[in-house]
Each structure stands twice: as structure tokens, then as C-alpha cells.
Structure 1
Amino acid sequence: MANTKLDFVTTGGNRQPSAADWASDIIAFGADNNVAIWRPGDNTRGGVDALLSGHTGVVTAVRILSSEQHRKTFIISGSADKTIRVWTNDNSATPDFRHVKILTDHEASINAIAVLPDSHLFVSGSADATLKVWKLSSSASGSQSKDDTIPSDVDLQSIDTELLQTITIKPRLLPLTLALVHFHDGSVVLAVGGTSSSIQLYVQEQRHFYLAASLTGHEGWIRSLDFVKESLTDDSDYLLASASQDRYIRLWRIHRGSELPAASSAASDPALGAFGRSLSNKAHYLKSKGQTYSVTFEALLIGHEDWIFTARWLHLSDHSSRPSLLSASADNSLAIWEADATSGFWMCTTRLGEISSQKGSTTATGSTGGFWIGLWSPTGNEVVSLGKTGAWRRWEYHAQDDRWLQTIGISGHTKDVKALAWARDGSYLLSTGADQTTRLFSEWKRDNIASWHEISRPQIHGYDLNCIDCITTNRFISGADEKLLRVFDKPRAVANLLERLCDVTDATHGTLPEAADIPVLGLSNKVVQNVADEELAGTAINGGANEPGAADPASAVQKSTLDLDHPPFEDHLARHTLWPEHEKLYGHGNEISAVAASHDGALVATACRASSIDYAVIRLYETKDWREIKPPLVAHSLTVTNLEFCPTDKQLLSVARDRQWFVFSRTEEHSQSYRVYASNPKAHSRMILDSSWAPAEVGSVFATASRDKSVNIWRLESGEAVCVNSIATSSAATAIAFLPQIRSGHVLLATGTETGELTICTLALETLKTMGTFLVETTIVPSKTINQLVWRPLRHSDGAPRGGNDVLGQQPGAYQLALASDDCSVRILSIGPAEVKVEEE
């Protein structure tokens, strides 16, 4: 199989304040157990560039260590699996990072990592209450280079690490944040903060650190520390910013010499008089390399209303004015702080995010849960933040307007992705999962560029979502842990957005509902009006909501809200792209486990989790009046894991944890009732996890995937089923999907496993014997269980063929395969042409 590539991957960021960094042109951040690489400046991609897999636990700390001199970029990541991993690339201009080292010295989760710019020194802090000081080096030729650096031409496999020191923190605290600074005279200082209200300062002496001072004043845990040089002069002071759960940021001045610097402006600020002794300007002294440094309290920054998770300085080599500080808080805001040029008082000059009146803390579409991370771009003209929903928001500074404007970020699921469904015409992809959201992805097409983005968030739920399927192009159904199913219709606002951005036309546009919203404390998306801006504004001002025909501000949305020329931002996605709920389907007694819609959209089959035959029934609903077709289909004794109608809708296939499969057939040609047609009580030796029908041209053929590490292919003939092929897998087979059409006279079957392995099998058209297999490279497949595989429909709704040049930049003859995984990712792979050679018997 040639030319298989990753077209799109999306995933949400981990809510860990230390789990992201921005250096050069890349952002590296933790995404479940992976490290995601995102290049915000690359507008040809809508998601992350790559996911680096290796960790077995959630990634909790990420730092980038760039070496321009040696043209290498190192990513150092720490995880809840107690390990630290080092990744690097051959050239800093490429995102192709490779794993080169794993460190297993810590005995608990890694909480924080600090790196020293222009050096290969880094420090890790762990929940085992220890700090470890490391040095990157090269083991080439059995020795390290004289200047203690890594040569530019060194083999990546020869990169090594040296443990210089282990520090047991006393008094005992769990480190949550670390910061390193390198003074111009060679002195190195390490700041440590964590589950204490004090900050510990360590000074390096002969390659070892010792505790030199403890800074007090905060009244909560320390969540972020960062150093910056105040100016470019050699004798410049350094500033340390500390952010705490007490909602305040403290600035500390580090001054060379035993003589104290001029009195801090904070002491004379009358607004801070109520803080009393907490503003004590007691001097602490550090000694290193024969030099003495004083550490004094500089300023108290007040403005956030909740915990502050990160505080980052802007580092600019040509920055001549005083530095700027970016803080991210649980109050849903980013703040930029600068010192006034005249008075020296520190003040908030810019605030980004959400204002209090927009939070809506009790609504599903309101509060984002705060910002957990805030980062500066290396040039200082962009900032990004990570929120509760896993999305990265991005702002750019426009000098001509002297203001910050929001621009396109990225988003993704933050928990296991359980199910996928393509629109009937392949125009968009729906995904749903344990983060209780359903998301819609489509291609934004402009200027001969196509990139995938989240265009709508149809469902924000209060229960984990388990399954989804499209009934028509404008309607889908999803099942969750709440024991019922919900049917949603595409709103006109989203249809307009898809038409404008993605070139998706809709002939039924005029019959669609206008928009949707979730009432406070509600779970059902309700239809709301889409009114002109001036009409809604006039109603609000004049109080005319009770007048005949007046728009109710509580059930209306401005038409201009989604009048966009770009994919929606996160706040738009969470509030204004919901789909209104059309119907609820009741009947099951447990959590919904599987759902399938017939190809003609007339029927829906559903099942729920079960431990007995009474609950393991399959219920059928007709979609015209949403009436249940009784009696339900009784067959399985345990949870049904997958349901699927055959291409002609004449038969329904079900597989379950009881190791059986059943095929139900229509009782009459145009009937909506089904009866058992064929079954196999011993189809596999362990539970069956997925199934798929072959293309109609092959006949009545289907495949089943099992935990017994096999995929069996069955042919139905006169009510009997024969296993015509059995394909072994390296681990439990969890997902399978036949390509819906014959390709080059052969049948393609995609198989996903519990370990994230993806295999494309080529089968003979007549015998269905394996003619060739292709194992997709591990760098572009998930690192955890593949839950579902879905091929993109090969034809438009109007019958025109899809594929080839239909997708900008896609190779001719390629087909796209979507993957859902437990690693929180949704991926779209382009499977290129294959040369199939018949294996000799």
C-alpha cells in the first residue's frame, strides 16, 4: 500500500498547567498519553502536525529546549507513568520528532520540568517529593564534547542524559512548578513552588544545587514560576513572577550586590495598604561564584478572581522596554501586565477571554472552566490559552489597531473517542465520546487550500456518549449512558456555515430549523429564533419582549453570530453551533451501547448494555413517526457491541459480548419487521467487538472482529453461514470496516486493534482469501485502542464520484479512513493506491 498519509488529527490538551510550551514555531503540549506538535503559523493544516506516542500515562509536563547553534530542538516530557522522555529532530524546521531517551529514576508522577535556555540542563520535579537535575550530552565516541554541548552532526541514537543531582525537598512538599535562570556571570538559580505557600530558591555551586532562600507571602499553593531579565544590559536585575491559588501574582527582584536596590514601588501603593505584613520587603541573599544577590519583593498584581495557573514572561532579544507578563486564571481570562513607564506601578494593560456576564456558570454552553495554560509566541505578537474543553484559543496583536484579535485555534476531545459517523454524502464527520460532546469536522476550502476544522459542536451532554450514526445528511442519532437516544437536526445557521466555508450545498436548506440553545440546567437542545441584530437589540433596549411578534432574547440568536468567513472560535462552538433536538427514543433499561440507521433512513436499530437476555434485546424504530416496531428482537444474552444494516437494508447484523452473531432478515420485501435468519453461537472463542458488511457486489458477506485476536469473514448462503477466511491480529481486534466499493477488482478491509495497530487487508473478490496485507506505520496511528473505523462515502448525494481531485491536495485514487481512539484523537488517513500481488500457495 503506497502513499498512506495522515490528512488530519485532532485532540484536546491536558488540563495540566505545566503540560505545554511554545518555542521557535511549534507548540508542544500533552494530549492524553501523547505529546502533540502544533504549528500555529501553518494555515494549511487545521489540527496538530503529529502526536508523539510512548508514554503510558497522562502527560503532565512538557518543555522545549531549543539549540539554534546545533540546529536541534529537544522536547522533554514527563508523565503520570513516572517517566521522562526526550524527543528530538534532525532539523528544527521539521515536526518529525523521534524518541531518543527514557528516564525512569523518579518513583511517582512527574509534575514539572524546567529547562535552561542556551544550555542542555533541565530539572524535573515529581510527586515523590524529589527534584532531579539532568544534563543532555552525547555518548558518541564514548565521551562528551569538551564544551559540554551536543555536536550538530551527532547521531540521535547517541544522545544521552547524565543525572547530576537528586534533591529531596525539605520541608517536604510536592513540586508543581519549577523555573531556572542563568545569570550573566554563570550563576544558576532554581526556583521551586508547589503544595506550600513558600518559594524555595536553590543556587548551583560546582554542578550541585543547595537551598539558599525561602520566599514567603503567598497564602495558597504556588502554581507557576518564571524568570526574566529586566533589560538587555549586563548589570540588569532579574524578575521572578510567582502565581498562586490565592489569586495573586507576586514579583520578586533579584539584584546583584550586597547593597539593596531602590525601594519597591509596591510599598508606596496606597491601594495595597490592607495587605499589611504580607507585603514585607525583607531581603533574602544568595551567594554564587563569589557574587552576592539580594531578593526583594517588588510588586503584588491584583485582578484575577480565581486561581492563577500560569504566569509567563515575554522573552525578546531585542526588547528594550520593561518585560510583559501573561497570566492565565480559572476566572476564564488572560491578563497582560506591564509596568507603567512613569510611576513604575504594575497594571493590567490587556484582558482576553470572557467577561463575567458571559460565563453562565450553570449552563453546559457557558463557563469554559477557566484557562489552565497561557503562552506567549516567541515573537510576542501572539498568545494562546488552553481551557477546560481541551481547545486552544489564539489571539494576534494588530499594531495598526493597537488591540488583540482572536484568530483560529484548534480543538479536540479530552477523553476517549467512542464513535464516528460520516454524513451520508461524506461532507462532514461526526465524532462523540466520553467527554460528553459530539463534534462535527469538515474541510475549510479557500484559495486552493483545504484544511480540516471543527465547524460545529452539535451536542453538549451531561452523560458519556457511546454511539452515533447519521440517519440522513441533516439528521443524526446518538446514544449515551442516560438510557435513551436523542435525534438531532442540522440548524440553518450551521448549514449556512458549511455552505460558506466548506462548499457543502443543501437542497433542504429552507426547511431546516434556525438555531438551537440549551436552557439553564437542561440537557435538551431547544430550537431558538435567528433574528436580525437590530431586532434583538431593540427588544433588549425597549423591553418589548411581550409585544406581539417580538423576539424573546432568551430564545433568540443574532444572525451575524455565525456570519463568519473562517471556522468558528471555541466560544462560538460552545454556544452557537448546537443542533436542535428532534426526538427522544425510550425503551431501554440500561446505558445505550449501539445504534445503527438503515441506508434509506427509514429505520433505527438500538441496543443497551446487558447481563441477561431480558436487557440484551434489539429495538427497532421507524423514523417517520418515531414509533417502536414491536416486539423487539430477542437473541443475545449479553451486551450488543455493534449493529449494522446490510447495503440493501434487507438484513441486520448484530454482534455481542456473548461471542455470537445474528443476522436478521426482513419478513417481507417492504416490511419493517425482522426475524432471525442465521446465527452462530460459537463464532469466536471470546467476545465479538465489531462487525462490518462487505460491498453489495460481493453478496451476503460480513466480517466479525473479536478479542480472540482474529477477524473472521462469513458468507451467507441459504440461511447458512460459512467462515471463508480467518485473519489473525497481533492483539484483540476491536474495529473493522469494509471499503463500501470494490477497488481494482478486490475487496479492502481495515482492521484496528487494542494496541492501536491498523492493518489494511486486500481480499480476492470471488474467494475472499487474503491476497495482501499492509501494516500502517505506527507514527500515524493511535497509541491506544481503536474504537471505530469508518470509510468516507465514495459518492456525493447527487451521485458524482468522490475521491481523487475532489479533495484539494488528495492523491488520485486515494480513499479516506476515519479512526476513533481511546487516546482522545480523531484521525483521517488517506489510503493510497496499492499494488496487490497474489500470494503463492
Structure 2
Amino acid sequence: MSATECVCTWETVGDAISHVYTSACINRHSACSDVITMTVGDTAFGDLLAFGTSHAVSIAKLIKPHSRDKEFSTYTGFRIMGSLLGHTAPINSVRWIRSADLAGESGPYLLLASADSKSQVKIWGCTLDSLLNMPWSVRGGNWFPLIEVLVPGSEIPNAVDGSVLWRSTSDECGVVNLDLVADTSIHVWHFILHESQTTEDGPVILCHSATQPLSYIAISRRPSMCLCLRSFCWLVSATQVIHFVIVGLDTGVTEIWTECILPFQSEHVADDGDCTRFVRSARLTGHTDWVRCLDLCRDSSTTTLSLFLATGGQDNVIRLWHIFDTTQVPDKVTLKVCDLQLPLSLDPAQYTLSIASESVLSSHENWVTGLAWAPRTRAVSFPPLLLSSSMDQSMIVWAPPDDKVRLWLERTRVGNSGVTGLSFLDCFWLPSDGSTIFGHNFQGSLSSWHYSDRDGLWSPGFPVCGHHGPVMDLAWSTFRSAANISASPFHLLFTVGSDQTVRAHAPLRLESGNNSASDCPSGISELSDHLWHEIARPQVHGYDMNAIASLSAISYVSAGDEKVARVFTATRSFVDACRQTLKLDDYPIGDNLLSVESATCSLAERAVQPTLGLSNQVSVPSSVDLMDDTVTDSTTVGVITHSDNGVASSCSAPLPTEDRLHCATLWPEVKKLYGHPYEVYCLAAHPNHMLVASACVATKQIHASIILWNGLADWSIHQRLVHHQLTVTQMAWSHDGQHLLAVSRDRTWSVWSPGQVNQQLPTYTLTAFPAKGQSHTRIIWTGAWCPDDRYFLTGSRDKCLLVWSAPQKRAPAELVAVSCCPLNVRKVFPDGVTALDVCQCSNVNPAVVSYLVAIGLESGTLILLILYSSVLMEPVDLRWSAVLLLPPPWCHVPGKQVRRVAFEPTTFGLTDTTLTPVHLATGATDGVARVFLIDRERLSACLLTL
């Protein structure tokens, strides 16, 4: 794109595009997620979740369906709004920076700290009004980078924390204390904040006063590794604050460091290595292995300092410590471990703090990885409930002593029993109600349980989950009948990733009433009455997945990093779930080859994967299973089953929970496709016939052939198409099924058309290829057909997008290969074009034919533009509209290649002047898959009028 090219601004488009779904997982680090409640005064306006996803920080908002959705009224979950981009390495730690004053307001801004594996630490700011008042389609908030620092010595951060002291009586509006542990050091920064206006009409944003921090302190703990961190500020007086930093070490020791700070002081600390202001106040021993996690809670009902500290270690033990004022709690003097050595600037006679060992909790059978005290909203007494997570695949809610029992007791245990690989790395409470707990498991998913006072049960909620590896390919479920396409506005979205899984996503239809804003679920606007979720994990493979192609609404073919492609069909329980749980009664199961009744009856009830196998097999129900199918059905909507510890079975959840997604929503494998000498790289399914094209990694022409598989003859090899010299990177069938487009690493493309008909399927002949010197100069990554199949587009690493005319239809005897030149409508982009797709665009002017083109770049950028021409002009004069760059929070991580973009299947006739909104799915190597809803009428009106 040139500097003079017309680029459409996001304000011009308005809400023509809405972001409806993001599938993402949490990075595999214990301190990589945190949640906070948005409050104004004493009123709470919902919860925000922040977590690290690859190189980005994802922001999600809590949603709660209304009570009229009886099946979902007790289930809560988070919906991702957008991402904060700026890190250049995977995120290790994320933490909200909370107000240091427990009784004070949170301020007009939200602050968030994040640290990555390349020693970069960022503090992000956002105005609270932008999160509360902006429409949902763009409700990512007005986020801006506030502070950026590098950890000296290239040390890798393990945990970050901080606090902010707000002040509204001067030009300086706050002081931020940023604390971080990295490798063998503790790092502390202090920054002064103030408000500024970048332009005369621009918004007022927060910034810090200087390029250098107010002060910086580094404390070396070599050779001990600093693993976890919590910090807080104790407001001793209006002019004096004690800053506490609590650190867990790999020696089993927990250290408490303190410093006395004067808020809004103007002098800087010149020596970065000066740590004399910090005092090691206490050294707590007891753990026999690494201290992996810790958390603290303060009693806000007293003016003196009283807090409980919980530490968890790899010795499977939780230790509780009570920090208190000796003069206020004299009965615990005999239980104290030590006195805190406070900074010398404090009067020791006035402030005497001691630490007592409160209890030792031993119930986990593996490492304790996360600890979280219940929020004050649920705590009727002090100390509150304690939540712990462990690598033993469980989380425990601990109850404090009461008048009857003077012991800490295990109240509830939740988790994933009998499932491998779902150990928990962290946990937290929902701060707004204190009745919902969340667990971050080893695969990156966030599981939740909600406690109901009515029935006294913990019920599973909506999980937040996604690929914990690059998304390599995606495909919408297809139908071989145009009637079926128009009958159902919903299509399943399949995604495959290098995490060796295939995932199915679908919209959950919610009760929308009269579609007013008040009738929509909390957190959902009137733009949509559907909530997207992952509903199945049909394939959990032993190889990284490379490609997928949908055969019908109930079957697909996929290929991993192996020489074999595999065909799968849905289970009967999955079909029932689509019709019942997802409320998709009109979702078509059959097609023109198989009736609905035949398709449903021929499906297996469920599938299992052998312990040492890669092929999902049909599970034959035993006599016990037949008597109690509520437990064995993979996605059954049944009566809540009660357990001994007051936890509802995950089988009763209306949507499958993470443990069931991992092992109980598999689809059976029906056929293996052998024929390629190397790993299968790409797949494409014919729109009308049971015909699949596949290609593998190749360095010679003999290996670069395309194989056509005949699904009507037990998936035998129908034909081999030999032309390319290197790997075929992508294939695409035309919408009418008359042509097959293949693009290759050898910088050429080929188009194949049907020749002689062999029984039910035709054989294909090469009919077009690029003229020498007229094609791309680098590898061609992607290609796609226009909806009317008159043109096709190709994108390459040479940053160019070329448009070509489709071959003319000829009789089979007249088919000859013709060299082609691109049309004079070349489009150049800042980075290589790695993904593209085309759909019909609404015709504002009936005399103009237009196509909406979605493009993904090698840099992670997503672009929309329109290719249009006048149908009255001969020859046809194709032109490009203005370019629309999707906003950064909706794009993928910079430097992470967009692997695939795909519009959902629609009718492709060009007779209608009004079209319904269409979904666009994108997937990239950052592990994120996104779905957008595009109003083609409004978007074309914006782009074509510029």
C-alpha cells in the first residue's frame, strides 16, 4: 500500500464489523492471569480478566446469561474483547495494579502490568469510562501503553505485582509501585503519573512524568531463584507508606521485604543498585521444596495491620501465616515465629508487627501451584475462605476455623478426575460475588465452578479455551445443497493446531425476547443473540495438525504432520447436543447424498481413543452404560448429579467442560487415506461431490502431485494430478465445482478442470497456468475464487495480490493447458500475503459487481477491501476500493503469520441486492482464532464511497 493510497478509517466504518468470538488459551505459566472488578464508587460494573496469550495480553469481560435461560442461568464465563499488542516474546506474568488504599476509590483508570520472556515489562492504562460506555462491538476500551521498562541483565521475569496511590489534589494524579521477581533478583520501580492531552482535540490520557522512574531498586538473592511475588502498601499516615514485598524462593524460604516511601517525592535515586532503603523484615521457613505460589489478604475492618499470608510449595503443603500487631492481638504472642524488622524511619515502639504460624494444610497429592483468598464480598469473617490449586488435577476450597471446629478444613474439592494432562497451574476467585472459582489448567484452558446457595452445589461454568499452539488451518462446515445453506444461518467452525487437536466451535443461541438491550445477557449487546463457544474436540492426535477440510455438517477430513489423512464423522450425542443444547433445531444433518434420518441412525453413539493408539474408535456401550447413559454421554443435557462433596457432575453442564472436551467429545475415525510419501500439507473438499484433494511436502515433482480421493468408493485414489515442482501450499475448489486451483512453493499456480466422466466422478485435466515471468516472484501462500467463479486471486510472499481470469469452459475433447497473464489490478501490501478469501459483497449500485476480499498478512495484520467493476463496460475494468485495516486489538500478534481466513459458506448468486451479515474466521500462528460478523451492506457503502 502506497502512502497516497486511500485507507478507510475505523471511525468511518462504525459498527459495520463486530468482533463476536476469540478462541485463545492462557500461556503455560502460573502467574499469567488475573481478574479485577470495575467499580465506580461503591457500584460494581462487572469483572475484567487479563491473561497472556502468546505474545499478547487478552482482555475478557464476564458474561452472565439472564435467568430466563434456565439451562444457563447459573453458568458464568468470560468473553474475550480484544488483545493488547506490543510484546515481542511470550507473556510470563500478568497482574492488575490495584489501589493501595483498601477503602479508597479505584480511580478513573485501570492499570495492568505484563512481563514477557525477553525481560520486557509494560504497564497498560485504560479509562474506565471507555470500558463502560462504548458499545460491545468495540468495547475493548481505550487502552494505551503507559510505562515500559527492561529488566537489567536480561533476567527472565517470573512474577509481577504492583499498587497505585491515587491523588487528585495536585497535578500529579498517582504513584505506581511496580514489583517484579526475575531469576535471582527482586526489582522495584516507582513512577509518578499525571494526565496529559496529546492534541488539542485528543483525549486526556495518563502518562508518567519522566523517561526515568522516580526510583529503582534491585535486590540480588543469588543463588536462590525468586519464583513468586505479592506486594502491598500499608498507609501508616497521610505522608508515610510502608511498601511490603513478599517473595517465595526455591530454597523453601519466604522472605518479607519492606521499605518506607514518601508519596510524590521529587528526588530520584541515582544508584540503581542502592537497596539500603529496603529491609529484609522476616524470613519464613518450613517448606522443604520450592515455594511456588503465595497470596495474602488484609483485614479492612481494623485500622491496624492484620493480614494472612498463604504459601504453597512443591512439597505439596500449604502454610498459613498471620501478620498482626502484637499490642492488638496479645493472645497470639506465644505462637509468633518472629517479629518484623521494619525500616528505621518508623518508630519501633509505635509499630510492632509479629508473625505467627497459623496452620499447615496438607491434602494435595502433588505440587501446590496456586493460592487465592476469597474476596471481601463473601467473607463474613476474617480470615476468609482459601482456594488452592495443584498439579494433582484438583482445586480445594478451605474453610477457616469457627466456634465449633478450631481447625482449617477442606470444604469442597473440584477438578478433573481420571483425566491426564489437566493439572492446574493457578486459581482465583471472581471478585464481584465470591461464589465463582476459576482454575487455569496445564493445557491453557480456564475452567470455572459456581456455587449456588439454593441447592448448595458447585456447578461447572463456561470454559475459556483455545489452541496452546499455532492455528494451522480452519474450515467452516459445508453443505452440498444450496437449500441447506439458506436453511441454517449457523455453521460449525473447525480449527486445527500444532497442539495436536481439532476443535469445533459454534454459537450458542440465547433467548433474546424482543431483542432489546435489557433482554440481552450481561455483557452482550443487542447486536447478537448468540454466544460462541468451543463445543467439541473431535480429534486429540499424536501429531501436530496441519490441515482440515469439511465434507458435510457431520464429517471432515484432517491431516497431521504425518503421511496419512483421516476421515471423521460426528457422534449421535454430538448431533443431539447441536439440536438441544445449542438450540439449533434447524441445523441440517443430511445432504443430497444422505437423508437426515439415515445420517443420524448411521452415527456412532460415542468414540474413544485407545491408550497407545492414534485412531479414534467407536465405543460399544456396555450393559452398565446402557442403564445410565447420563454419565457416559459426552454432551448430555441431563439432571444435575450430586456428589458427596457438593459438586455437580460435569456431565450435567449444558456445554462440555474442559475435562469432557479433552476426552469425551471425540469423533470416530472411519478411514485412513494412504498415498503420500511425506507429510500431508493441505486439503480441499469438493463442494458437490465426495471428492477430496490432498498434497504433501515435496522437493521433487514426483512427490508434489495432488491426490484426488473418491469418497463414494471407500476413499480410494481417484486420480493423481502432476504438475508442480515443489510443495502445493493451498488448494481451493471453485464454488460450482468445475475447477480446482492449486498454488505452490514453486511460485506458480495451476487450474484443473473436469474432462472425461469416469463412472460417478470426472477426471481432471490441467487447463491453466501462469505465463513465464508473469506470476509471483516468491512462494505463493494462498489462493481463492470469487463467488461467481469468474476470477480467482493469489497471494504471495512478494507482498502482491494478483487477480486472474478463470479458464473458459470447453468440451472435454477441447481441453488444453493455456498460459495466463494477470489482470491489470495488482495490489501491493506492506508484508507478504499469507491468507485470503472472497465473498459476495452487497451491490449498492446494481450496475456494479463487487467482491469483499479478506486478507491476512505475514505480520499478523487483517485487511478488508472490495474488488469491483461495472458490468456494463467491456472489457471489464476491475478496481480496488479503499483499504480497511482492522484495529490492532482485533488483529493477530505482530510477526505471527495469519494462516487462514475464511468466510462462512453463503449462497453465491449475484442477483440479490441485499445480503445478510456474514461471519469471517481467522487463524494465525499466535494460537488465536477469531470470528467477526460483517454487515456487507454498510461496509460496502463505506468503502465504495471513499
Q: Which TM-score band applies after superposition, normalised by the shorter structure?
A: 0.7 to 0.9
The equivalent residue for 1:480 is 560
The equivalent residue for 1:782 is 892
Find the aligned partners of 1:307 and 1:34 in 2 and give their Cα distance: 28
Secondary structure of the structure 1 residue equivalent to 2:94:
strand
Q: Does 1:340 align with 2:401?
A: yes
Offset of 1:533 from its aligned partner?
A: 7.3
The equivalent residue for 1:218 is 287
Offset of 1:112 from its aligned partner?
A: 0.7
The superposition leaves residues 229-284 of structure 1 with CA deviations (integer Å, 9 ceiling, x where unpaired) of 2573334632211111111111122232489964699x9xxxxxxxxxxxxx7425
- 2:617 partner amino acid: K
- Stretch deviating more after TM superposition (301-310 or 213-222): 213-222
Secondary structure of the structure 1 residue equivalent to 2:150:
coil
**Would the aligned equivalents of 2:750 and 2:766 in 1 still touch at CA under 8 Å?**
yes
Offset of 1:502 from its aligned partner?
A: 3.8
Find the aligned partners of 1:584 and 1:388 in 2 and give their Cα distance: 31
**Would the aligned equivalents of 1:423 and 1:429 in 2 still touch at CA under 8 Å?**
yes
Match of 1:623 among 688, 711, 723: 711
Distance 1:510 1:21, change over 3 A: same
Distance 1:293 1:643, change over 3 A: same
Q: CA RMSD in A?
A: 3.2
1:629-778 maps to which residues of 2 (within 5 A)? 629=717, 632-668=720-756, 671-680=761-770, 682=773, 683-696=775-788, 698-699=789-790, 701-717=791-807, 719-724=818-823, 725-739=825-839, 743-744=843-844, 745-765=849-869, 766-778=876-888
Offset of 1:437 from its aligned partner?
A: 1.0
Find the aligned partners of 2:903 and 2:729 in 1 and give their Cα distance: 19
Q: Does 1:19 align with 2:23?
A: no
Distance 1:586 1:708, change over 3 A: same
The equivalent residue for 2:135 is none
Q: Does 1:87 align with 2:88?
A: no
**Would the aligned equivalents of 2:179 and 2:231 in 1 still touch at CA under 8 Å?**
no
**Would the aligned equivalents of 1:499 and 1:505 in 2 still touch at CA under 8 Å?**
no
Offset of 1:440 from its aligned partner?
A: 0.9
Distance 1:837 1:70, change over 3 A: closer
Q: Does 1:181 align with 2:236?
A: no
- 2:437 partner amino acid: V
Offset of 1:565 from its aligned partner?
A: 7.4
The equivalent residue for 2:814 is none
Secondary structure of the structure 1 residue equivalent to 2:287:
coil
Find the aligned partners of 2:158 and 2:195 in 1 and give their Cα distance: 31
Q: Does 1:28 align with 2:50?
A: yes
Q: Does 1:202 align with 2:257?
A: yes
Find the aligned partners of 2:684 and 2:830 in 1 and give their Cα distance: 28
Find the aligned partners of 1:32 and 1:837 in 2 and give their Cα distance: 33
The equivalent residue for 2:692 is 604
The superposition leaves residues 432-486 of structure 1 with CA deviations (integer Å, 9 ceiling, x where unpaired) of 1111111111111121231111111111111110110111221100111122111
**Would the aligned equivalents of 2:460 and 2:653 in 1 still touch at CA under 8 Å?**
no
Match of 1:431 among 495, 499, 502: 495
Offset of 1:136 from its aligned partner?
A: 4.3
Distance 1:96 1:462, change over 3 A: same
Find the aligned partners of 2:400 and 2:651 in 1 and give their Cα distance: 39
The superposition leaves residues 143-201 of structure 1 with CA deviations (integer Å, 9 ceiling, x where unpaired) of xxxxxxxxxx9623567783522223223333221111334634332111133321121
The equivalent residue for 2:110 is 73
The equivalent residue for 2:511 is 447
Q: Does 1:567 align with 2:617?
A: no
The equivalent residue for 1:497 is 577
The equivalent residue for 1:581 is 669
Secondary structure of the structure 2 residue equivalent to 1:76:
strand
The superposition leaves residues 297-345 of structure 1 with CA deviations (integer Å, 9 ceiling, x where unpaired) of 3221101111111111123166434322111111111111122214532
Find the aligned partners of 2:209 and 2:314 in 1 and give their Cα distance: 39
- Stretch deviating more after TM superposition (231-240 or 717-726): 231-240
Secondary structure of the structure 1 residue equivalent to 2:826:
strand
Offset of 1:705 from its aligned partner?
A: 0.8
Match of 1:244 among 288, 313, 321: 313
Find the aligned partners of 1:499 and 1:475 in 2 and give their Cα distance: 17
Find the aligned partners of 1:669 and 1:162 in 2 and give their Cα distance: 75
**Percent identical:** 26
**Would the aligned equivalents of 1:417 and 1:433 in 2 still touch at CA under 8 Å?**
yes
The superposition leaves residues 523-554 of structure 1 with CA deviations (integer Å, 9 ceiling, x where unpaired) of 1111124689774459xxxxxxxxxxxx9x99
**Would the aligned equivalents of 2:792 and 2:805 in 1 still touch at CA under 8 Å?**
yes
The equivalent residue for 2:141 is 96
- 1:499 partner amino acid: R
- 1:91 partner amino acid: L
- Stretch deviating more after TM superposition (784-793 or 94-103): 94-103
Secondary structure of the structure 2 residue equivalent to 1:509:
helix
Offset of 1:757 from its aligned partner?
A: 1.5
The superposition leaves residues 68-117 of structure 1 with CA deviations (integer Å, 9 ceiling, x where unpaired) of 34222111111113211122221164341412224233123322112237
Show structure 2 runs of 5+ residues with no match. 1-7, 38-46, 67-76, 100-104, 133-139, 167-174, 198-202, 263-276, 479-484, 513-528, 590-595, 639-648, 809-817, 870-875
The equivalent residue for 1:111 is 158
- 1:339 partner amino acid: P
Q: Does 1:294 align with 2:354?
A: yes
Q: Does 1:353 align with 2:463?
A: no
Secondary structure of the structure 2 residue equivalent to 1:514:
coil
Offset of 1:223 from its aligned partner?
A: 1.2
**Would the aligned equivalents of 1:181 and 1:189 in 2 still touch at CA under 8 Å?**
yes
- 2:917 partner amino acid: A
**Would the aligned equivalents of 1:664 and 1:675 in 2 still touch at CA under 8 Å?**
yes
TM-score (norm 2): 0.77
The equivalent residue for 2:273 is none
The equivalent residue for 1:330 is 391
Match of 2:83 among 25, 46, 51: 51
- 1:156 partner amino acid: L
The equivalent residue for 1:520 is 611
Offset of 1:715 from its aligned partner?
A: 1.4
**Would the aligned equivalents of 1:455 and 1:568 in 2 still touch at CA under 8 Å?**
yes
Secondary structure of the structure 1 residue equivalent to 2:882:
strand
The equivalent residue for 1:376 is 429
Q: Does 1:256 align with 2:325?
A: yes
Secondary structure of the structure 2 residue equivalent to 1:234:
coil
Match of 1:39 among 49, 57, 61: 61
**Would the aligned equivalents of 1:110 and 1:124 in 2 still touch at CA under 8 Å?**
no
Show structure 1 runs of 5+ residues with no match. 143-152, 268-280, 360-365, 539-550, 805-811
The superposition leaves residues 608-651 of structure 1 with CA deviations (integer Å, 9 ceiling, x where unpaired) of 11222232221111011234436622222222110112222222
The equivalent residue for 1:396 is 450
**Would the aligned equivalents of 1:803 and 1:813 in 2 still touch at CA under 8 Å?**
no
Offset of 1:348 from its aligned partner?
A: 1.5
Find the aligned partners of 1:674 and 1:598 in 2 and give their Cα distance: 13
- Stretch deviating more after TM superposition (440-449 or 624-633): 624-633
Distance 1:756 1:822, change over 3 A: same
1:801-840 maps to which residues of 2 (within 5 A)? 813-832=916-935, 833=938, 834-835=940-941
The equivalent residue for 1:149 is none
- 1:823 partner amino acid: D
- Stretch deviating more after TM superposition (295-304 or 180-189): 180-189
Distance 1:780 1:479, change over 3 A: same
Secondary structure of the structure 1 residue equivalent to 2:801:
strand
Aligned residues: 783
The equivalent residue for 1:544 is none
The superposition leaves residues 493-520 of structure 1 with CA deviations (integer Å, 9 ceiling, x where unpaired) of 1111111214124323233222211122
The superposition leaves residues 674-708 of structure 1 with CA deviations (integer Å, 9 ceiling, x where unpaired) of 23222236521111111111223x52x21111101
**Would the aligned equivalents of 2:253 and 2:286 in 1 still touch at CA under 8 Å?**
yes
Find the aligned partners of 1:817 and 1:557 in 2 and give their Cα distance: 27
Find the aligned partners of 2:913 and 2:662 in 1 and give their Cα distance: 32
